[in-house]
């Protein structure tokens, strides 16, 4: 499996890879219809069918590789930084780190600006991803996570418009040693930010449309 295929969009069911199917046709149609109907709650957008465009924006925002999300978060964990520092001092040194019942939260806020006859409205969506690791054992070499020895990852993706859930939470299970292909060189743990907490909310993905 190519390393780029296991993305948050795949975990959300919005895209497929060789090991996982996406949403069913009926589920996808329901999501598109829900997006269209929420947009039409804004009076100026009632004449337009924006469901597919809005789903495209959300999908694009979630094309973040799972390994990249783990890298962002694990750089901030002290035990990871300490292990990375030890392995970066000498050639060939390695460390093993175990993570039991470790949970990560990551979020993104796809935003669409729509202009009709010079009047603009903004639609903002909230995607929250919870990643729960169970009995994960990893190998760190040269300040990089180079492989997983054991462990599974359970993901839960919630997609909302304001407080309104756009679909039921989608849950997936990933076998870390068997299914998560790491980027070339592994997950880089160097260059952390001195223990600063990683904010849950990532930068907004903004798209504009004019009618």
CA distance 6 to 69: 11
**Shortest CA distance to 89 belongs to which of 168, 143, 151, 8?**
143
The pLDDT of 91-97, averaged and rounded, is 75
Q: Does pLDDT of 53 surpass 80?
A: yes
Render 50-75 in DSSP notation, one character per residue.
-HHHHHHHHHHHT--BHHHHHHHHHT
Q: In this predicted structure, what is the pLDDT of residue 201? A: 41
Q: What is the reported pTM?
A: 0.83
> pLDDT tens-digit profile of 134-187?
988 888 888 888 888 899 999 999 999 999 999 999 999 988 888 887 887 888
CA distance 145 to 183: 10
Instruction: Enumerate residues 6+ apart whose C-beta is below 8 A from 88.
Output: 142, 143, 190
DSSP state of 182: P
Q: 152 near 83, Cβ under 8 Å?
A: no
Which range has the top average pLDDT, 31-40, 57-66, 101-110, 132-141? 31-40
Q: 147 near 177, Cβ under 8 Å?
A: yes
CA distance 157 to 50: 22
Domain boundaries, the chain: 3-210
98: which 2 tokens? 């175990």
Which is more confidently placed, 179 or 37?
A: 37
Round the average pLDDT of the chain to a whole number and report it.
84
């Amino acid at each position: 499996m190519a390393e780029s295929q296991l993305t948050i969009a795949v975990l959300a069911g919005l895209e497929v890879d060789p090991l996982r199917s996406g949403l069913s046709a009926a589920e996808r149609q329901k999501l598109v219809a829900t997006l269209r109907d929420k947009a039409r709650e804004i009076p100026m957008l009632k004449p337009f069918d924006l469901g597919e465009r809005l789903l495209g924006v959300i999908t694009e925002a979630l094309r973040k590789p799972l390994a990249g999300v783990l890298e962002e978060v694990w750089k901030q964990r002290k035990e990871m930084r300490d292990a990375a520092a030890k392995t970066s001092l000498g050639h060939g040194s390695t460390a093993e780190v175990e993570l039991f019942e470790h949970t990560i939260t990551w979020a993104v806020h796809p935003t669409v600006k729509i202009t009709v006859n010079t009047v603009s409205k903004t639609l903002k969506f909230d995607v929250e991803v919870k990643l729960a690791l169970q009995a994960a054992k990893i190998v760190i070499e040269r300040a990089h996570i180079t492989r997983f020895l054991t462990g599974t990852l359970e993901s839960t993706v919630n997609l909302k418009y304001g407080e309104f859930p756009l679909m039921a939470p989608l849950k997936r299970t990933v076998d870390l040693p068997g299914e998560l292909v790491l980027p070339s060189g592994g997950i880089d743990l160097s260059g952390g930010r001195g223990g600063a907490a990683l904010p849950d909310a990532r930068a907004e993905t903004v798209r504009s449309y004019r009618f």
